């Protein structure tokens, strides 16, 4: 796109990068990039980004259109419940809840919109309708709000811990108890922007678990209920008690066991959501099944540790 624009009186005497930023409604850094690449310049005069725009000059813009690749769609993401207020999807591994900086893969929100599912406009831009999330590497049930009423009510239910979220997880080692609660605050780890840890400076986090199946001293299958919903909560809590999730090297999993089970992500799946329907207030339960990669790993564990 090429065009000539007379220098506006209000911008005469300003730095050229400041003037370009004002004229195009972009950041000063972006304006500097355009100047240095020759896409923004003063007609018949060489000028740097710090040069001064003068009266009577003409600014020439020769902007290169940026090609934005469309977000891929998660075609294998099943919708397991839907009405006029909410939609519950069975999120596959490798799908993010919503778009974020640096993520180029499919998202739950983008895939629903591309399928023509109406989503409420309530919520932060790019995250509208989302009241809870799952990690990219975690599969299972995730609820998104279609109506404004649902967004307000479901956000309240999640915030007040009224929604019952059940996960199945395979953790390393043999848990000594059949059931227990981990009550430990979680915050961002100082060593990495991507990791979290148990820290007194963190936010309250409560995880309840029950043993479902034991595999000698090698691993334990547990049912997990979250009272809170912190980022990486299940992964961090079990790692903190010396039992990281199988297939989760970020939090201390044994890579040899992960490879033997064919796992390329943590063994964790959101199995069940229970909540009061935002409009009817009827107690609603939605359930999922363990996906193929996790089921295969579990079968291998049962072969290694057959029941006697």
Question: Residues 266, 168: one domain?
Answer: yes
Q: For residues 191 and 79, state if they share a domain.
A: no
In this prediction, residues 132-138 reach a mean pLDDT of: 93
Whether residues 33 and 142 share a domain: the answer is no
Residues 166 and 294 in one domain: yes
Are 259 and 293 found together in one domain? yes
Residues 26 and 105 occupy one common structural domain: no
Tell me if 60 sits within 8 A of 19, measured CB to CB.
Answer: no
Same domain, 41 and 146: no
| CA distances in angstroms from 185 to 115, 134, 205, listed in the order given | 39, 19, 5
Structure confidence by residue, pLDDT tens digits, 188-204: 888 766 899 999 999 99
pLDDT band at 64 (very low <50, low <70, confident <90, very high): confident
The boundaries of the domain holding residue 256 are 161-307
Domain end position, chosen among 20, 39, 61: 61
Tens-digit pLDDT profile for residues 247-294: 999 999 999 999 999 999 999 999 999 999 999 999 999 999 999 999
In a shared domain, residues 258 and 125: no
The residue from 17, 90, 135, 293 that is catalytic is 135
Listed residues 160, 190, 218: the one ending a domain: 160
Look up 33 and say whether it is catalytic. no
Residue 115 has which token pair? Answer: 């399928």
Q: For the whole model, what pTM was predicted?
A: 0.77
At which of 160, 178, 204 does a domain end?
160
Residues 254 and 266 placed together within one structural domain of the fold: yes
The pLDDT of residue 300 is above 80: yes
Same domain, 168 and 301: yes
Check whether residue 16 and residue 128 sit in a common domain.
no
Token representation of residue 58: 């003409």
SS3 call for 144: strand
CATH, residue 281? 3.30.2350.10
> Is residue 165 domain-shared with residue 98, that is, in the same domain?
no
Q: Helix crossing, 28-36 with 16-24: angle to 10°?
A: 110
- CATH number, domain at 25? 3.10.290.10
Tokens (6 digits) for 239 = 């790692």
Report d(CA 142, CA 249) in Å as an integer. 24
Residue 263 CB contacts under 8 Å (≥ 6 apart), including other chains: 246, 247, 293, 294, 297
């Amino acid at each position: 796109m090429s065009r000539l624009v007379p220098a506006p009186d209000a911008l005469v005497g300003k730095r050229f990068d400041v003037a370009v930023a004002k004229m195009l409604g972009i950041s000063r850094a972006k304006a500097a990039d355009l100047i240095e690449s020759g896409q923004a310049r003063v007609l018949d005069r060489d000028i740097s980004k710090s040069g001064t725009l003068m009266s009577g000059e003409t600014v020439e813009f020769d902007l290169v259109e940026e090609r934005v690749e469309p977000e891929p769609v998660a075609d294998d993401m099943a919708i397991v419940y839907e009405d006029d207020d909410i939609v519950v999807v069975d999120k596959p591994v490798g799908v993010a809840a919503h778009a974020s900086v640096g993520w180029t893969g499919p998202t739950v929100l983008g895939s629903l919109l591309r399928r023509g599912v109406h989503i409420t406009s309530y919520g932060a831009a790019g995250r509208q309708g989302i009241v809870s999330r799952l990690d990219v590497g975690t599969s299972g049930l995730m609820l998104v709000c279609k109506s404004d009423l649902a967004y307000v009510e479901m956000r309240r239910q999640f915030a007040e811990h009224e929604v019952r979220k059940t996960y199945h997880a395979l953790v390393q080692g043999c848990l000594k108890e059949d059931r227990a609660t981990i009550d430990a605050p979680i915050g961002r780890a100082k060593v990495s922007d991507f990791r979290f840890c148990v820290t007194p400076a963190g936010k309250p986090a409560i995880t309840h678990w029950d043993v479902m199946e034991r595999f000698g001293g090698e691993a334990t299958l547990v049912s997990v209920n979250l009272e809170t919903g912190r980022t990486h909560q299940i992964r961090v809590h079990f790692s903190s008690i010396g039992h990281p999730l199988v297939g989760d090297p970020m939090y201390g999993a044994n890579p040899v066991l992960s490879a033997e089970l064919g796992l390329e992500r943590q063994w964790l799946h959101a199995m069940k959501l229970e909540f009061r329907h935002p409009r009817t207030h009827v107690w609603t339960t939605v359930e999922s099944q363990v996906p193929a990669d996790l089921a295969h790993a579990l079968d291998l564990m049962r072969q290694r540790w057959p029941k006697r």
